[in-house]
Amino acid sequence: MSFDVDTVRADFPAMSLTAHGKPLVFLDSAASAQKPRQVLDAMRTFYETSYANVHRGLYELSERATTAYEESREKVRRFINAADSKEIVFTSGATDSINTVAFSWGAQHLSAGDEVILSQAEHHSNIVPWQLLRERKGFTIKVVPVSDRGEFDFAAYERMLSDKTKLVAVMHVSNVLGSVFPVKAITAAAHKAGAAVLIDGCQGATHLPVDMQDIGCDFYAFSGHKLYGPTGIGVLYGRAAVLEKTNPFRGGGDMIRSVSFEKSEWADIPARFEAGTPPIVQAVGLGHAVDYVSKIGMSAVAGRERELCAALQDGVLSVGGFRVIGTAPDKAGVVSFVSDFAHPQDIAMILDQEGICVRTGHHCAQPLHERFGISVSVRASLGVYNTLEDIEKLVAALHKVKRFFA
């Protein structure tokens, strides 16, 4: 399955930009994706025609805003095939979604003697919240290793599971390795052991079709800005049966049924987890971003990105002197690499001169870099607008790097 990439590129104003006088080659979508005109226009139109606070006013404009906000929730539900739109909590981003699980569900259910299982590849956003909570609760964190190719070590994971395991929190797709983790099997094994499952889907929902009812996880987190939507909006999917038994950790706004100085009662889900004025326009923008990618079709996105990702990896390796970090057979959208002769920062500087945007650093995955014996890497990542030509330009620029440094 494929789609017309020229039509897609024409939707993204950023695809016509230049940098250092060269046409922009944007290979940093894993950090944040560019936005199509459809999302930008929809947000502007909403501000101009339908903007008011949601859930509060008994006037038409506020009702219009509320309808648009709730329609976005339903679009997200459909996008990830959740069973019910009340399972969709709007947050400020994936980091906020994971912190919400930690400090609501986790604070309620985790205590000394319990074990939380993470993987070695996790983004800091799925490590640090658990460490913060561990300081309060005294549970133990166990870490599933990844193989030399960057695969989730399922056998090690199975050996780690026990009746002490209360939560398994792992990523769907690594933002460094690109590896796709077997989240359905991970979830099934965790549930068999009686543990809950949180999937960090930040790079999953953007590159692959995702289906909450198929994966079966209890929580799934992702960010709007990596899915061609605005910043400031994220999603926490929570299985209704689990969310309904979870207390909020942020108070204020619409998250209550009643308040008195003696006692407050919580609203139903999902409002219970959306304290304060929510990111209304951002939620509307995310709804339109979901419309946008759904129209292309996530299977088509995944299929095209798989081909490009293979070409990207082969291209980087073809130059010689570059080592790819993570060569799992099942990869999505991301290729990270280091070189024998140039520091990642020097590589990025030369690429920048060619108009090529890549990321250098630890990509918020320091333990993973340490596992591969490095401190930083260069990461090229794909979006719906990337082409084989982008990859050819990157490869040509890497030859330049080699000529310069080797």
Residue nearer to ligand PMP on the CB measure, 65 or 202: 202
Edge-to-edge strand list for the sheet holding 88-91: 88-91, 234-238, 219-223, 196-200, 165-171, 115-119, 140-144
Residue that has been written with the tokens 């953007």 in this structure: 206
Interface residue with ligand PMP, options 82, 89, 101, 171 (CB under 6 A)? 171
| Smallest separation (angstroms) from ligand PMP to the CB of 348 | 17
DSSP H or E segment with residue 248: none
338-371 residues labelled b (16+ CB within 10 A) or e (exposed): bbeebebebbbebbeebbbbbbbbbbbbeebbeb
Which of 202, 217, 357, 364 is flagged as catalytic? 364
* Interaction pattern, residues 24-53, with ligand PMP; x per rule: CB under 6 A: ------------------------------
Considering only residues 317 to 376 of the shown chain, the ones binding ligand PMP according to CB under 6 A are 364
Count of positions (residues) in the chain: 406
202 binds ligand PMP (CB under 6 A): yes
Task: Identify whether the C-beta of residue 27 lies closer than 8 Å to the C-beta of residue 390.
Answer: yes
CB of 361 to ligand PMP, least distance (A): 11
Element at 26 (helix H, strand E): strand 25-26
> For residue 363, what are its two tokens?
């990509």
Distance CA(394)–CA(396), nearest Å, equals 5
# binding residues, ligand PMP (CB under 6 A)? 13
Amino acid residing at 148: D
Query: Least Å distance between CB 94 and ligand PMP?
Result: 4
* Shortest reach from residue 236's CB to ligand PMP, in Å: 11
Residue nearer to ligand PMP on the CB measure, 309 or 398: 309
The residue within the footprint of ligand PMP, chosen from 50, 104, 175, 246 (CB under 6 A), is: 175
Cα 347 from chain centroid? Answer: 26
* Contact partners, residue 153, CB within 8 Å, separation at least 6: 144, 145, 146, 147
Active site residue 309: no
Minimum CB distance to ligand PMP smaller for 50 or for 175: 175
**C-beta of 34 vs 50, nearer to ligand PMP:** 34
CB 30 within 8 A of CB 334: yes
Binding of ligand PMP at residue 227 (CB under 6 A)? no
86 DSSP 8-state letter: G
Among the listed residues 72, 99, 125, 386, the single contact to ligand PMP using CB under 6 A: 125
> Does 381 contact ligand PMP by CB under 6 A?
no
Q: Of the ranges 145-153, 154-162, 197-205, 235-243, which one interacts with ligand PMP (CB under 6 A)?
A: 197-205
DSSP letters, 108-139, are HH--TT-EEEEETT--GGGTHHHHHHHHHH--
Only segment of 120-128, 244-252, 309-317, 384-392 that touches ligand PMP (CB under 6 A) = 120-128
Beta carbon nearer to ligand PMP, 202 or 351? 202
Residues in 59-118 that interact with ligand PMP by CB under 6 A? 93-95
Residues lying near ligand PMP in the complex (CB under 6 A): 93-95, 123, 125-126, 171, 175, 200, 202-203, 223, 364
Active site residues: 364
